[in-house]
């Protein structure tokens, strides 16, 4: 029998795999219909600024985002590799779980060079009432304010 932490681990690792293998069309399926997906920086969050780098309030908006990414053809042939730290559950009422996880993303350029692309943490609300857990809210808080335009990709 899987524990809650096991279920969360599966959701987060599936999510990261979807992005890292460039299966972006499946990315919105990890969210509920009314989900919020919000990317910001630690600086903005601490100042209470509600300005997001990305601020989507439904799965449809995420689908539009992927379509735009594909159409604009701005998705460059880098590879991304999410390394997600062990998970932290901060709340759970049986229907919704609050979860945090630190992460970093390694970027591999077409010439083979690699760098630390971003680091930060997820603050997620996970809907446990469905057959499979889904993100009802995903807040991505980046450690650095130096934002690469490539942040157009999902994190």
Contact call for residue 79 and a second copy (CB under 8 A): yes
Is 111 in contact with 140 (CB distance < 8 Å)? no
Tell me which residue of 43, 30, 60 sits closest to 137, measured CA to CA. 30
Shortest distance in whole angstroms from residue 155 CB to a second copy: 14
Minimal distance, residue 142 CB to a second copy, in Å: 9
Which of 34, 83, 129, 132 touches a second copy (CB under 8 A)?
83
Least distance in angstroms from the C-beta of 107 to a second copy: 9
CA neighbor of 15 nearest in space, from 146, 132, 148, 106: 132
Name which of 12 and 140 has its Cβ closer to a second copy.
12
Interface with a second copy includes 45 (CB under 8 A)?
A: no
- Rounded Cα gap, residues 11 and 135, in angstroms: 9
């Amino acid at each position: 029998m899987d524990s809650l932490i096991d279920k969360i681990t599966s959701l987060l690792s599936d999510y990261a795999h979807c992005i890292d293998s460039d299966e972006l069309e499946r990315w919105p399926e990890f969210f509920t219909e009314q989900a919020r997906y919000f990317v910001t920086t630690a600086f903005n969050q601490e100042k209470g600024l509600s300005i997001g780098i990305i601020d989507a309030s439904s799965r449809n908006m995420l689908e539009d985002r992927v379509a735009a990414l594909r159409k604009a053809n701005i998705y460059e042939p880098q590879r991304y590799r999410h390394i997600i730290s062990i998970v932290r559950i901060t709340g759970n009422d049986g229907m919704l779980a609050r979860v945090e996880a630190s992460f970093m993303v390694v970027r591999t350029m077409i010439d083979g060079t690699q760098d630390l692309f971003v680091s930060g943490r997820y603050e997620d609300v996970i809907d446990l009432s469905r057959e499979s857990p889904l993100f009802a809210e995903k807040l991505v808080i980046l450690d650095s304010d130096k934002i690469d335009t490539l942040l157009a990709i999902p994190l």
